[in-house]
Amino acid sequence: NRENDYQQDMVVLEDPLIFTNAEQPRRKTISAYGIVRSSHAARLARFNQRVNRLVTRTITFAVGLDAVACEPGDVIRFQHDIPQWGFGGRAAAGSTSTTIVLDRAVTLAAGKSYEVLVRHNNDVVETRAVTTGPGTVTTLTVADAWAQTPAAGEVWAFGEVLISTKPFRVIT
């Protein structure tokens, strides 16, 4: 608090919905170093309260240099094989303007629609509908030609339409 010789103050925020929903109170302490106005601390508390009420799923992950381009506030598309949020890998050599050669086999089931996303080395992401028939394949044919032919080593994600990746907002 600037007006109190920069001594730490405490801002307490209670959620009235907890009492109407007969929920157990959940306490959370947030340290906000560098904030010198209580109004700013109150806004931060309200933001965290709403995030805790509305966010139903969060993830924590560690990445290499491939994902350094995201920052807090960005919406990222997350792909992981275990929760079945698509399948992913790196493009192998031999892709064309209407195909992508994958570094692993993927299985396409009959009667389902699939898509493939490619993040090119210049950070442009292209999404294309897959026209390859049912079966297990390492080369996918896409409905529309790529604006850039996928190069070896570029990141791809594959899955059913709208399930190939899962969107998440970067918080920290």
The predicted model gives 79-100 an average pLDDT of 92
The predicted model gives 74-79 an average pLDDT of 87
Residue 24 located in a structural domain: yes
| Same domain flag for 36 and 69 | no
Reported as a single tens digit per residue, the pLDDT across 80-89 is: 888 878 899 9
DSSP, collapsed to helix, strand or coil, labels residue 108 as strand
| Same domain flag for 31 and 84 | no
Q: What is the pTM of this model?
A: 0.67
Q: How far apart, in whole angstroms, are the C-alpha atoms of residue 122 and residue 143?
A: 23
Reported as a single tens digit per residue, the pLDDT across 41-57 is: 889 988 888 887 777 78
**Which among 33, 54, 75 is the end of a domain?**
54
66, 156 Cβ separation under 8 angstroms: no
| Same domain flag for 23 and 101 | no
| Same domain flag for 116 and 160 | yes
- What pLDDT score does 154 carry? 96
Length of the chain counted residue by residue: 172
| Same domain flag for 74 and 39 | no
| Same domain flag for 21 and 100 | no
Residue 60 located in a structural domain: no
DSSP class per residue in 130-161: B---SEEEEEEEBSS--SSPPPTT-EEEEEET
Q: How far apart, in whole angstroms, are the C-alpha atoms of residue 111 and residue 43?
A: 49
The predicted model gives 22-33 an average pLDDT of 77
**Which among 17, 35, 54 is the end of a domain?**
54
Considering its fold, how many domains does the chain have in total? 2
The predicted model gives 73-100 an average pLDDT of 91
Mean pLDDT of the chain: 88
- What pLDDT score does 94 carry? 97
| Same domain flag for 69 and 50 | no
Say if residue 162's pLDDT is above 90: no
Residue 59 located in a structural domain: no
Reported as a single tens digit per residue, the pLDDT across 100-126 is: 999 999 999 999 999 999 999 998 999
**What is the domain range of residue 148?**
65-169
**Which among 14, 34, 54 is the end of a domain?**
54
Residue 109 located in a structural domain: yes
